[in-house]
Amino acid sequence: MRLRVNPIACTGHGMCAELLPELITLDPWGYPLLASEMVPQALAGHARRAADACPTLALLADDSFVAGPGVRHGRRHAG
């Protein structure tokens, strides 16, 4: 699973940091800092709950991303 924040939608509620302190801390302005984009299997449930709890749906948990060998972290996108 891969976590992302949509910084346009995020209003800095900080709910996610409470629900997933293992991966999310808040910056001095109250916006989430991810320790890692890739979510270890053991935390997938918590990550899903944190994403569902975000009031603006700014925290995105992408299941199509499976961690493991061969995962490309830095995909290069057109533009």
Partner 1 sequence: MNTITVGHRAGPRLLAGLSYYGPAGLPDHHRQHGPLPAVGRRLIDVVDAAGLTGRGGAGFPTGRKMRIVAGGRGSKVVVANGCEGEPASSKDRLLLTMLPHLVLDGLAAAAAAIGARDAYLCVHDHEASLLESLQAAVAARKDSVRIQVSGVPGRYVASEQSALVQYLNGGAAKPAFSPPRPQERGVRGLPTLVNNVETLAHLALIARYGDRWFRSAGLPAAPGTMLVTVGGAVRRPGVYEIELGTPVGEAVARAGGLAEQPQALLVGGYFGAWLPAGAAWPVPMTHAALKAAGGALGAGMVIALPASSCLLAETARIVRYLADEGAGQCGPCVFGLPALANAMADLAYHGGRGRAGRQLAALLPLVERRGACKHPDGVTQLIRSAVRVAARDAREHDVAGPCRGITREPLLPLPGEDL
Q: Which residues bind ligand SF4 (CB under 6 A)?
A: 5, 7, 10-16, 32, 54, 56, 58-59
Q: Are 60 and 5 in contact (CB under 8 A)?
A: yes
Looking at this protein, which amino acid is placed at residue 54? C
Instruction: State the nearest-atom distance from the C-beta of 31 to partner 1, in Å.
Output: 4
Instruction: State the nearest-atom distance from the C-beta of 36 to partner 1, in Å.
Output: 13
With CB under 5 to 8 Å by kind, the binding choice for 78 among ligand SF4, partner 1, none is partner 1
Instruction: State the nearest-atom distance from the C-beta of 12 to partner 1, in Å.
Output: 5
Q: Are 38 and 66 in contact (CB under 8 A)?
A: no
Picking from 43, 58, 57, the residue whose alpha carbon sits closest to that of residue 1 is 43
